[in-house]
Amino acid sequence: MYFPVAFQVLFLAQLAAIGWGANLRLLSNAGIEVRPVLQLAQLPTASRSDDRPDDGLHKNVFRLARVLAAVTATGWLLSALASSPAMQTWLTLLTYVAVVGIVVQPQRILCHTVRMQFLGSLVRIVVPSMVSPVFLSDIIMADILTSCARTFADMRLVVCQFVSLAWPSEAGTCTDTGFLGALLVAMPYAFRLRQCVNEYLNAVPGSAEARRHLANAVKYASSFPVICLSAMHRRAEIEASAGVKQSSWILRPAFGLWVLAVAFNSLYSYYWDVAFDWNLGHTRSGWKLADCVVPSVSASLASSSVPGAADEMSELAIPRDLVSPADALARNMYVPTTKRSFPRLLRPQLRFAWTWLYYAAMMIDFLLRITWTMKLSSYIRIDQMAFGGFWLNVLEVYRRWQWTFLRIEKEAAL
């Protein structure tokens, strides 16, 4: 089957765009006003058109995704029918030019507002700044980019393919880009780390908010040892396959460090997803998972000797939605009758009545966070499976889709 890396990258990007549109539609159908949650009206690129109802937002995202998918599918089919590898490369290059041209063209046509919001968010993410405000839409976009890190690494192969077409003499030097691949993988995490440091510097010194941003920065910083050790291990595998003798006293400790680094990063990231990004893990006594890293006022009072103080502060710290139970049921929302009646290990305020959705999301997120363990199995060789890397990226797109869904739901429930 003709499905080269260049088109895998395009299809994954458009799958993520379709998932974003599905997020917006489902959240809008549930009665969640997405625009104020994402702070779209506060963006520097905001315009009067941003005040339209939420249904226009997801419709524009779907419309743009359909156009880009049609262009990509056409280029893919033409490339598959091409008679020579050179013609296939030229058609692939034209497909990329068409896709990028549609996204960046400045005319007020074809979902102009959505495209400008996307490009403006990319600029704010990439351009370093320690004083500019960090909007929730930019945070979510930067987190989505971290899920595309493997796709960025594949982009170096695409660039090499185009370079070899334009400058055949440089084809040999372009293939040896292990350092460039590791740099491309690390870039999204560096962008997100910069956002965390920015928020930390702009928070009140010593406050719980400042500690939370610092702890979040540690999460993204922990990805860099994983990337460096992975690049080192991959380089050793390539040299071993080429017949270069490797020193076992270096490779074995490096592999052990890689296991420790990836385990810490995966488990800490999963904990952050549940405890902070989704604000789950609450107990009916007032303690929650987030208190392990950033203790709240209610948790501090719960450990004190003042009876009833924790319950009182928990009551004040957790506002209730001013929605009747009948309206909540009609809008698929869950509103607890008392602060002690919420489902176990979730939170007092949930915007969806289907509590199984939250439990399923936590379980799936954990399983997809630890997919790296398949590399430790001698029976599962993802790299040797047909399009194994592509399907891993598809699973990561799904994981980020459900993360985004509950991330926005949590902000709306506050």
**Is 251 among the domain residues?**
yes
**Is 253 among the domain residues?**
yes
* Token pair in block for residue 344: 């176990």
Which residues constitute the domain of residue 245? 222-277
Give residues with Cβ within 8 angstroms of 87, minimum separation 6.
79
* Token pair in block for residue 146: 């971290």
**Is 412 among the domain residues?**
no
Mean pLDDT of the chain: 82
**Is 257 among the domain residues?**
yes
pLDDT higher than threshold 50 for residue 240: yes
Contact between 330 and 391 under an 8 Å Cβ cutoff? The reply is: no
Q: How confident is the model at residue 316, as a pLDDT?
A: 32
Q: What is the pLDDT of residues 52-106, one digit of tens each?
A: 555 678 999 999 999 999 999 999 999 999 988 889 989 999 999 999 999 999 9
Alpha helices in 107-170 (DSSP H): 112-126, 136-147, 149-166
Q: How confident is the model at residue 237, as a pLDDT?
A: 67
89 class by beta-carbon count within 10 Å (0-12 exposed, 13-18 middle, 19+ buried): buried
**Is 319 among the domain residues?**
no
**Is 244 among the domain residues?**
yes
Percent composition of the chain: helix, strand, coil (DSSP 3-state, to 5): 75, 0, 25
Mean pLDDT confidence for 170-184: 66
Q: How confident is the model at residue 329, as a pLDDT?
A: 40
Q: What is the pLDDT of residues 263-316, one digit of tens each?
A: 999 999 999 999 999 999 999 888 999 999 888 754 444 444 334 433 333 333
Cα angle 135, 148, 95 (rounded to 5 degrees) comes to 105
> Which residue would you say has higher pLDDT here, 244 or 226?
226
Phi-psi category of residue 324: left, alpha or beta, with phi > 0 → left and psi -120 to 50 → alpha: beta
Q: What is the pLDDT of residues 377-407, one digit of tens each?
A: 555 566 666 677 888 899 999 999 999 999 9
Q: How far apart are CA 235 and CA 228, in angstroms?
A: 11
What's the number of domains the chain is made of? 1
Phi-psi category of residue 332: left, alpha or beta, with phi > 0 → left and psi -120 to 50 → alpha: left
* Token pair in block for residue 111: 């979902």
**Is 101 among the domain residues?**
no
Q: What is the pLDDT of residues 154-175, one digit of tens each?
A: 887 787 777 777 666 555 555 5
Q: How confident is the model at residue 173, as a pLDDT?
A: 54
Give the position of tokens 């891993």: 392
User: How crowded is residue 364: how many other Cβ atoms within 10 Å of its Cβ?
Assistant: 15
- Grouping H, G, I as helix, E, B as strand and the rest as coil, residue 299 is helix
Cα angle 120, 132, 125 (rounded to 5 degrees) comes to 40
Q: How confident is the model at residue 86, as a pLDDT?
A: 85
Give the position of tokens 């928070």: 203
> Which residue would you say has higher pLDDT here, 342 or 73?
73
Q: How far apart are CA 86 and CA 73, in angstroms?
A: 19
Q: What is the pLDDT of residues 349-376, one digit of tens each?
A: 899 888 999 999 999 999 999 988 776 6
Measured N-to-C along each axis, helices 112-126 and 54-81 cross at an angle, to the nearest 10 degrees, of 80
Q: How confident is the model at residue 123, as a pLDDT?
A: 94
Contact between 321 and 413 under an 8 Å Cβ cutoff? The reply is: yes
Q: How confident is the model at residue 399, as a pLDDT?
A: 96
Beta bridge partner(s), residue 334: 350
Beta bridge partner(s), residue 370: none
Nearest to 147 by CA among 102, 192, 208, 84: 192
pLDDT higher than threshold 60 for residue 249: no
Q: How far apart are the first and last CA of the chain?
A: 48
Q: How far apart are CA 266 and CA 271, in angstroms?
A: 9
Nearest to 346 by CA among 360, 366, 330: 360
> 228 to each of 182, 215, 235, 261, how far by Cα in Å?
7, 21, 11, 10
**Is 230 among the domain residues?**
yes
Q: What are phi and psi of 350, to 5 degrees?
A: -125, 140
Beta bridge partner(s), residue 350: 334
Q: What is the pLDDT of residues 102-146, one digit of tens each?
A: 999 998 888 998 999 999 999 999 988 888 889 999 999 999 999
Mean pLDDT confidence for 27-46: 86
- Flag the least confident range among 18-22, 101-105, 177-181, 259-263: 177-181
pLDDT higher than threshold 80 for residue 190: yes
Q: Which amino acid is at 272?
A: W
What's the whole-model pTM score? 0.84
